[in-house]
Amino acid sequence: MTPDPFDDRKARAAAWFRQLRDRIVAAFEALEDSHGTGKPGRFEVTPTTRADGGGGLMSVMRGGRVFEKVGVNVSEVHGTLGERAQKAMAARGVPGMDRDPRFWASGISLVAHMQNPHCPAVHMNTRMFWTPNAAWFGGGADLNPALEYPEDTAHFHAEMQRACDAHDPGYYPRFKAWADEYFFVPHRGRARGVGGIFYDDLNTGDWEADFAFTQSVGAAFLPAFLPVTERRIASPWTEADREAQLVHRGLYAEYNLVYDRGTKFGLETGHDANAVLMSLPPIAKWT
């Protein structure tokens, strides 16, 4: 059998997502330890499986002084897309889904819900998706504060722009606008946070360049998020602040359950439901 010329690229992408996962988990555990009460903050790591092929790692830390709940998942899955997923892919312009619905996908997905209401929740993911007729990258990161500080928003966006500008000066304005559109909650008439960047179906014809950009987005996450968290972690907060945080989490949960592409894809293709729904907050409120 002739080897798939993409096999090496798949392996490299999956290895990068795992390395990024390890780096972020170590940084978050160190942050929890440095601000904790003496009890080490550690992720609980659970292997995940997909019945039709592949799996990953679900890593979750709960109940810390810094993180009320944070999950960092990686996956590498493969199989055949069902009819509904095929139609969704075809609608997005993926060629050949009616002829060969095989797929392979790998990526990292992260969501952090913080203890202190002054610390913003955050999301980041990057991924590679392959079919026999197309391969592309997607991902992004966005900040979701209940209590917004303009300087935090500016810092987060500056780091995302730095990652984009290193590859194409047109990427940041394009992907910021895409994030503003994508992370909008239509039934509430508002954004779920203060944005960031979002991109999907990235295939410029230069796989190495697209992979390098996706690596830059992932590598920008810790410099974008950690300084914001360190700045707010010791801020005193009131019950009104906590109420605002919990109501904002309700908005976040609504978005992820109704609109998020990754949630829909994960559930429709049979991935571990607990891993797919890791992004949901531990406690939320609705007014």
Residues with a known catalytic role: 123
> Within 10 Å of residue 210's Cβ, how many Cβ atoms?
19
DSSP assignment, residue 193? S
Best CA proximity match to 252, nearest among 115, 144, 112 = 144
The pair of three-digit structure tokens given for residue 255, joined into one six-digit string: 């978005």
Beta-carbon contacts of 90 under 8 Å, excluding residues fewer than 6 positions away, are: 97, 98
Beta-carbon contacts of 63 under 8 Å, excluding residues fewer than 6 positions away, are: 69
Q: Which region, left, alpha or beta, applies to residue 117 given φ > 0 means left and ψ of -120 to 50 means alpha?
A: alpha
Query: In degrees rounded to 5, what are phi and psi of residue 246?
Result: -70, -35
Measured CA to CA, the distance from residue 6 to residue 14 in angstroms comes to: 12
The pair of three-digit structure tokens given for residue 86, joined into one six-digit string: 């095929």
